[in-house]
């Protein structure tokens, strides 16, 4: 079984929600990444300036001696405070840069020994045995990523198990042995705090925004489909008995308006077809009633009075009834079958053959002349094309006085033109389309007495249109001129 499809409104809402999630979520993630990277870049720039300050301050003898206490003293470090206390009195004290602040740094000598550590780096040096490499021989900044392991004592640190970035700076020194390296910790907590508002929006605002977009899409799709529902309701009220109603057509000019226009055009065609079918049934019943009534009267008179039935009357009535029935069946078959396809057919040869048959009839009909200088090939069914020409010749034979001229030419490389011209009374211009209607007769000269039921020209036009061509009555100085134009091959 085919998989059931979701309603249009559900699909529209789902598509809008997916698009909103991709656009808003993708934009938020991009913004989060930009903010995170900018925060990290700012922290690195700040760490470099702080490393410079620490390295320049620590590169003094007094600093290296007193830094563990958190303060540095300016003055000689080789004084003897017991023998010369005045000489060891320092007149200027200052704090070590960033000491006591929430900045994590470590000063390491050229052997990797930690000389001074503060905050998070001091904690992980002391508790988890964090080590640093030996001092690089180059005076430059560098970055190294390290994993901060949990404390050996089991205590929980703020950055346990996190990989962090250390910005290192090798400070200048007069001797290689005194060279130190400053490591500044770039905590990921600062960048995470910077993107926290975006994360909050992603967790709460994004689902709400997606649901809002889905609700708006649902409402918009429902509103857009209201004309379709009105069209459906109107179509449900249309029946075969009354096909006068039409669906409302919006003035929006969009696909729904074009759908309404197409539906109304289809209803027009269906109404026309239904009306033609009703007329066809009524006319067929009327036409069949006459020969059947004649045959019945003949038989009843013979049966009542005991006389013999006139065979000629029976033959004439039966032939007329048979021809009418065959024409009706042919029309029904032409309406049911698909457009004609087949093999190449030489229309000129078919015309020659049909005209030749009439010369061998008893009595022979010598009125027909065929003018076909070249072959004229058409793609189609030979029996249908022969029926088209035969109906035109039959129609002309009823009204022609002395001659019927059949001309088959190719006025263009892609057109075959067959003309059947007679010298009869002709057809008024006002009736040149009506004669192609079923059971249509015009004037006293074209009545039932001439042997036609009014279906031959209708069948001929249907065959021409099924072969991609057309059949019409052309202007003529005398008599009637029927022209069939078919696509050539």
- What value does the mean pLDDT take over residues 77-98? 51
- Considering the domain architecture, whether residues 68 and 139 belong to the same structural domain is answered as yes
Q: Using pLDDT thresholds of 50, 70 and 90, give the confidence band for residue 353.
A: very high
pLDDT (0 to 100) of residue 93: 39
Residue 139, pLDDT above cutoff 70: no
Residues 42 and 172 reside in one and the same domain: yes
Backbone angles phi, psi at 3, to 5 degrees: -70, 130
| Assigned domain for 186 exists | yes
Any residues with CB less than 8 A from the CB of 252 and at least 6 apart, and which? none
Whether 46 and 116 share a structural domain:
yes
Strand (E) or helix (H) holding 311:
helix 311-336
188 inside domain: yes
Which of helix, strand or coil describes residue 118? Answer: strand
pLDDT confidence tier of residue 41, bands split at 50, 70 and 90: very high
Asked if pLDDT for residue 415 goes beyond 70, the answer is: yes
484 pLDDT tier (thresholds 50, 70, 90): very high
Q: CA 107 to CA 117: how far, in whole Å? A: 6
User: In this structure, are 46 and 156 located in the same domain?
Assistant: yes
Position 279 scores a pLDDT of 74
Q: Looking at the structure, tell me whether residues 295 and 146 fall in a common domain.
A: no
Same-domain status, 278 and 330:
yes
**pLDDT, position 368:** 93
- Residue 298 phi/psi, 5-degree rounding, is -60, -45
Q: Is residue 411 part of a domain?
A: yes
Model pLDDT, residue 71: 44
| pLDDT score for 445 | 44
The answer, yes or no, to whether residue 444 has pLDDT greater than 50, is no
End position of a domain, from candidates 270, 305, 336: 336
Give percent of the chain above pLDDT 70.
82
Average pLDDT over residues 138-160: 84
Q: Based on the domain organization, do 397 and 258 belong to the same domain?
A: no
pTM assigned to the model = 0.47
For the beta carbon of residue 206, count every other beta carbon within 10 angstroms: 17
- Helix 311-336 and helix 255-305, axial crossing angle in degrees, nearest 10: 170
User: Sorting pLDDT into bands at 50, 70 and 90, what band is 405?
Assistant: very high
Residue 81: pLDDT over 60: no
Residue that has been written with the tokens 């048959």 in this structure = 357
> Does residue 231 lie within any of the structural domains?
no
In this prediction, residue 114 carries a pLDDT of: 84
With cut-offs at 50, 70 and 90, classify the pLDDT of residue 300.
Answer: confident
Question: How many independent structural domains does the chain possess?
Answer: 3
Both 58 and 155 in one domain: the answer is yes
Domain identity same for 476 and 351: yes
Residue 70's pLDDT is 44
- How far apart CA 339 and CA 486 sit, in angstroms, is 14
CA distances from 349 to 56, 370, 384 (A): 113, 10, 14
C-alpha 110/C-alpha 117 separation (Å) is: 15
Domain of residue 459, residue span = 341-487
Residue 233 domain-assigned (yes or no): no
Q: How confident is the model at residue 203 (pLDDT cuts 50, 70, 90)?
A: confident
Reply yes or no on whether the pLDDT at 72 is more than 70.
Answer: no
Lookup: tokens for 97: 């840069």
Is 211 part of a structural domain of the chain? Answer: no
Q: Are 308 and 299 in contact (CB under 8 A)?
A: no
Task: Name the domain boundary from 295, 315, 336.
Answer: 336
Do 361 and 278 sit in the same domain of this protein?
Answer: no
How many helices (H) and strands (E) in the chain?
12, 14
b/e map 268-295, b = 16+ CB within 10 Å? eeebeeeeeeeebeebbeebbeebeebb
Q: What is the CA radius of gyration of the chain?
A: 53
Half-sphere exposure of 433 (CA within 13 A, CB side): 1
Q: Scanning the structure block, which residue is given the tokens 């609700």?
A: 215
Please state, rounded to an integer, the average pLDDT across all residues of the chain.
81
Q: Cα separation of 38 and 14, whole Å? A: 35
Q: CATH number, domain at 444?
A: 3.30.565.10
pLDDT value for 388: 94
CA distance 272 to 257: 22
| pLDDT computed for residue 471 by the predictor | 96
Lowest model confidence (mean pLDDT) among 62-76, 233-247, 308-322, 443-457:
62-76
| Rounded Cα distance, 150 and 144, in Å | 19
User: What pLDDT is recorded for position 340?
Assistant: 55
Which of 90-94, 131-135, 407-411, 425-429 shows the lowest mean pLDDT across its residues?
90-94
Residue 324 domain-assigned? yes
The whole-number average pLDDT for the span 199-225 is 89
Asked whether residue 422 falls in the same domain as residue 406, the answer is yes
- The one-character DSSP state at 202 is I
Tell me, yes or no, whether 320 and 347 share the same domain: no
Can you list the alpha helix ranges (DSSP code H) found in 79-178? Answer: 119-127
Residue 78 lies in a domain: yes
């Amino acid at each position: 079984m085919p998989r059931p499809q979701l309603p249009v409104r559900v699909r529209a809402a789902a598509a809008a929600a997916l698009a909103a999630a991709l656009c808003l979520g993708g934009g938020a993630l991009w913004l989060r990444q930009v903010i995170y990277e900018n925060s990290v870049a700012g922290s690195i720039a700040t760490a470099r300036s702080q490393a410079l300050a620490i390295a320049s301050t620590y590169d003094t003898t007094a600093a290296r001696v007193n830094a563990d206490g958190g303060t540095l003293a300016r003055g000689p470090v080789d004084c003897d405070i017991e023998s010369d206390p005045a000489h060891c009195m320092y007149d200027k004290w200052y704090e070590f840069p960033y000491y006591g602040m929430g900045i994590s740094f470590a000063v390491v000598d050229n052997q990797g020994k930690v000389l001074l550590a503060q905050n998070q780096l001091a904690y992980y040096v002391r508790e988890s045995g964090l080590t640093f490499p030996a001092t690089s021989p180059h005076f430059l900044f560098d970055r190294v990523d390290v994993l901060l392991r949990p404390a050996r004592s089991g205590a929980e640190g703020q950055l346990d198990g996190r990989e962090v970035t250390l910005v290192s700076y090798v400070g200048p020194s007069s001797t290689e042995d005194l060279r130190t390296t400053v490591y500044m910790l770039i905590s990921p907590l600062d960048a995470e705090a910077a993107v926290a508002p975006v994360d909050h929006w992603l967790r709460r605002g994004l689902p709400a925004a997606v649901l809002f977009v889905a609700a708006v899409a649902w409402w918009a799709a429902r509103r857009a489909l209201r004309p379709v529902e009105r069209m459906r309701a109107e179509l449900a009220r249309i029946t075969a008995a009354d096909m006068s109603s039409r669906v409302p057509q919006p003035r929006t000019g969009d696909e729904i308006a074009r759908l309404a226009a197409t539906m109304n055009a289809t209803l027009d065609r269906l109404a026309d077809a239904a009306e033609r079918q009703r007329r066809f049934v009524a006319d067929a019943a009327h036409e069949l009633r006459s020969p059947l009534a004649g045959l019945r009267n003949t038989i009843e008179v013979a049966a009542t009075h005991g006389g013999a039935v006139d065979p000629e009357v029976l033959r004439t009535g039966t032939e007329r009834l048979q021809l009418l029935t065959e024409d009706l069946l042919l029309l029904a078959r032409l309406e049911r079958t698909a457009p004609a396809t087949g093999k190449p057919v030489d229309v000129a040869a078919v015309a020659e053959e049909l005209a030749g048959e009439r010369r061998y009839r008893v009595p022979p009909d010598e009125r027909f002349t065929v003018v076909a200088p070249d072959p004229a090939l058409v793609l189609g069914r030979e029996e249908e094309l022969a029926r088209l020409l035969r109906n035109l010749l039959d129609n002309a034979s009823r009204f022609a006085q002395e001659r019927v001229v059949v001309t088959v030419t190719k006025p263009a490389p892609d057109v075959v033109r067959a003309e059947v011209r007679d010298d009869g009374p002709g057809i008024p211009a006002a009736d040149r389309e009506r004669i192609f209607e079923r059971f249509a007769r015009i004037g006293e000269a074209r009545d039932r007495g001439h042997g036609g039921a009014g279906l031959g020209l209708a069948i001929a036009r249907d065959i021409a249109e099924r072969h991609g061509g057309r059949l019409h009555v052309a202007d003529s100085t005398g008599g009637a001129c029927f022209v069939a134009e078919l696509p050539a091959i």
